[in-house]
A and B are shown apart, each in its own frame.
Chain A
């Protein structure tokens, strides 16, 4: 088929707009990276677009020796790891129980979970509950309240229902208990759904900041995202109201709060870039299944 004038115009418009979309989403992250490798004082002069002008590792060195940032980074890693383990374990075991076709009171259970998904008391009552449970100001406040994700629960249920009965039955004949079957038969063949759950939970944990801001007062329990939020909030307020951010600048001549903020942002985005290929594989599938099935 010959390309008509219309074809050429449509293609031109489509490719131009998609090129803009690509630049607008790609460039900001690229820019962060080049600034993070550039001398801080030099960066404030502007004019850096494609390549660091004064290449340096000082920004990273400054962050890496700052105990506050190190600690925040480890808190973030810890909450992500523990949160994923707890979340996947709890959600999958409950999903396995609910996936049983002849489970008694099933309708009633499902009703409870669906109501729980759509109705929430809001953050204030949750705060009251956490306070009474003595979870406030502990590491556990990051991982326990969210360990049962109802949305993921339903994805897992639909997966477990597809597992052929024969597999479980033969294990049963061999005398394995339900718990044993779940651990040694069901989980090993459920890797895709476990990966989906782990990624959802992990990204959520890594990016969370609100709980760190309001359920925790202990400075040693602050997460990386929270630390960044502090810096950014200060950055957006006119200079005369600024406080603590300036102390870094005094400490290290070549790093400015601005460069450090950018470097912290890079450090927070890099893990996501690392798991991105897996995210694409499982996350996108999970999202489309969730959406198509409504």
Chain B
């Protein structure tokens, strides 16, 4: 990817002891290039950031962008509205449950997969399994939801057909509409889609391990499992911690496997909503479907605050425990 290059330390733009103006003039183009980025950044990142103020105001959509600043302050009115909403507990419970279940069940999978692939000596097998396993990462969640609806349906779904034929169940299971199956459905589909992708990162860490280490351990009489335990695992320990911090930091979005919103939106329906409605989908429906912009922004903000706290919290914890952190 990188051409090997050695740049000299001197630069062509600045010479010492020049006025700011002169130096700027010398780098007109680079400054202009950056300015393009700043304009785009301001419009699509920073202006919406100011929009967070809407959560504390009575905002009306007709007042446009300026309305964000001119509308009336209402303090925590919308937050209280949400806390007293009859669905509040249900939504918070679903959000936390889905996020935590995903963390617990999907986080170890890429690590285990990477360790297994690392044990494979036939390179063709390794390549084929890897190539297919991360393919779903590039597929839209819409297609994944479609696959789920095809394979898990009660009348033509292959999974139910197999379960019935093997005598595991008597009646087809309604995976897609029974609320009690939604959490499992969310965990399984996310795992299917993203586990192979995260395996790449652990395998990249393993590619740097010196093969003579394994040979030496073998000569010393360490069996396969001991070699995994003493060589493979320590080699990816650092990566595991970094990835775990990322996963906890993005917990509410669904962690590594992301997509809580897309799953609840695409696989959720009127029938299973008691288990599939989460903070993000609720805010989304309130805001864009029902036009309660301030209320929706308040719920969104609540989630952002929890997320930021989690990022810094997990980083702090990781630093305390293992002396490594992201920042």
Contacts and interface: CB of A to CB of B under 8 A. Distances in A.
A191 B101 CA distance: 41
B324 to A, nearest CB: 10
B65 A132 contact: yes
B131 A280 contact: yes
A253 interface: no
A95 B196 CA distance: 30
B142 A209 contact: yes
B74 interface: no
A107 interface: no
Contacts of A44: 156
Contacts of A193: 1
A101 B52 contact: no
Nearest to B326: A294
Interface in B123-159: 125, 128-129, 131-136, 138-143, 145-147, 149-151, 153, 156, 158
Given A96-B30, A124-B300, A284-B200, A148 B51 contact: no
Contacts of B41: 112-113, 116, 148, 150
Given A21-B133, A104-B31, A112-B38, A121 B51 contact: yes
Given A1-B218, A90-B37, A276-B135, A122 B6 contact: no
Contacts of A116: 41, 45-46
Interface string B230-243: 00000000010011
Interface string A117-160: 00111111111110111000000000001111010010000010
B163 interface: no
Contacts, number: 303
A51 interface: no
Contact of A236 (B5, B24, B147, B149): B149
A235 B129 contact: no
Interface of A is mostly: helix
B146 A121 contact: no
Please indicate which of the listed interface residues B47, B51, B120, B326 has the most CB atoms of chain A within 10 Å of its own CB: B51
B92 interface: no
Interface residues of A, number: 114
Interface string A47-58: 001000000000
Given A232-B146, A232-B266, A98 B138 contact: no
B8 A165 contact: yes
Nearest to B270: A237
A84 B39 CA distance: 19
Interface stretch (A23-31, A66-74, A244-252): A23-31
A158 B78 CA distance: 43
B156 A258 contact: yes
Nearest to A294: B326
B23 A104 contact: yes
A21 B139 CA distance: 17
Interface in A151-189: 153, 159, 161-166, 168-169, 172, 177-179, 182, 189
Interface in A63-108: 90, 93-94, 96-98, 100-104
B27 A122 contact: no
Interface in B77-94: none
Contact of A159 (B2, B134, B136): B2
Nearest to A190: B3
Interface in A2-51: 4, 6-7, 10-11, 14-15, 17-18, 21-22, 24-26, 28-29, 31-32, 43-44, 46, 49
B79 to A, nearest CB: 15
B186 to A, nearest CB: 14
Contacts of B293: 124, 127-128
A124 B47 CA distance: 12
A124 B271 CA distance: 26
Contact of A100 (B24, B27, B197, B205): B27
A126 B267 CA distance: 25
A24 B192 contact: yes
B147 A265 contact: yes
B40 A90 contact: yes
B6 A285 contact: no
Nearest to A113: B41
A238 B33 contact: no
B149 A122 contact: no
Contacts of A229: 142, 145, 266
11 contacts: A24-B192, A103-B31, A120-B48, A121-B49, A132-B65, A164-B5, A165-B7, A207-B140, A236-B176, A265-B147, A291-B201
Q: List 7 tightest A-B contacts by C-beta distance, closest first.
A: A125-B51, A97-B33, A121-B48, A94-B37, A178-B29, A207-B140, A125-B48
Given A102-B14, A126-B51, A206-B140, 10 more contacts: A18-B117, A28-B147, A97-B31, A97-B36, A101-B11, A112-B38, A164-B8, A193-B1, A236-B145, A268-B140
